Amino acid sequence: MNNRIDHKLYSKEDKPVKFSEDMLKRIGEIILHYPRERRRSVLLPLLHIAQQELGGYLSVDVMDYVASLLDIHPIEVYEVATFYSMFHLEPVGKYVIEVCRTGPCSICGSERIVDQLEKILGIKTGETTPDGLFTLKTVECLGSCGTAPVMQVNTVFYESLTSENIIQIIGDLKNQGNNKPLETKWVDLF
Ligand code: FES
């Protein structure tokens, strides 16, 4: 579930939004995997593609565009996009750090990890570093309670976090982030 600490009002900017012809063709193929009466189920994969292809986050314009492609009401897209923490409603950094804050991770020190990350990165939870490299978020259970405390950075999992290995992880990501373009792997989703 999404864990926004602030409740912002997102507004439509009426910016032109469109998938490329190639992407529309690919989406057409994906839609065919779903029975006609279950077409709205394609919403989740479509939102993943939209987020990766159309700027890294789901603006109101992007969500409205996705709604128009599936011929559903925009509110149906907003409901899904705001429920799942993997969808971002505003620009995020190259690396989105999501620290689990649910019971087992909390007992094992996730608050301390978040405090430390805020200090290292110089931002508060929910913010992005000025260089656009990191966004820090907290989320509910990431499904690895036995190795708490846990965090996820984009699609990579980090378990049994400690004050020491956090410094190493962020250092490595900084080096990597400044030297290597981020790989997008939406094709792996299907
Ligand atoms: S409580 Fe953190 S992974 Fe489950």
Given a cut of 90, whether residue 99 has pLDDT beyond it is yes
Is residue 4 in a domain? no
Token pair listed for 176? 């990597």
pLDDT score of 58: 95
Number of domains in the chain: 2
Ligand 1 atom nearest residue 110's Cα? 2
Q: Are residues 60 and 109 in the same domain?
A: no
**pLDDT tens track for 147-186:** 999 999 998 999 999 999 999 999 999 998 766 665 554 4
Tell me the average pLDDT across 55-81. Answer: 93
Alpha-helical (H) ranges within 55-142 are 60-70, 74-83, 103-107, 110-121
The pTM (predicted TM-score) of the whole model is 0.81
- Distance in Å, CA 108 to ligand 1 centroid: 10
Q: Is 161 in the pocket of ligand 1 (CB under 6 A)?
A: no
Q: Decide which of 83, 103, 137 is a domain's last residue.
A: 83
| CATH number, residue 125 | 3.40.30.10
Higher pLDDT, 36 or 112: 112
Q: Is 145 in the pocket of ligand 1 (CB under 6 A)?
A: yes
**pLDDT tens track for 46-62:** 999 999 999 899 999 99
Is residue 7 in a domain? no
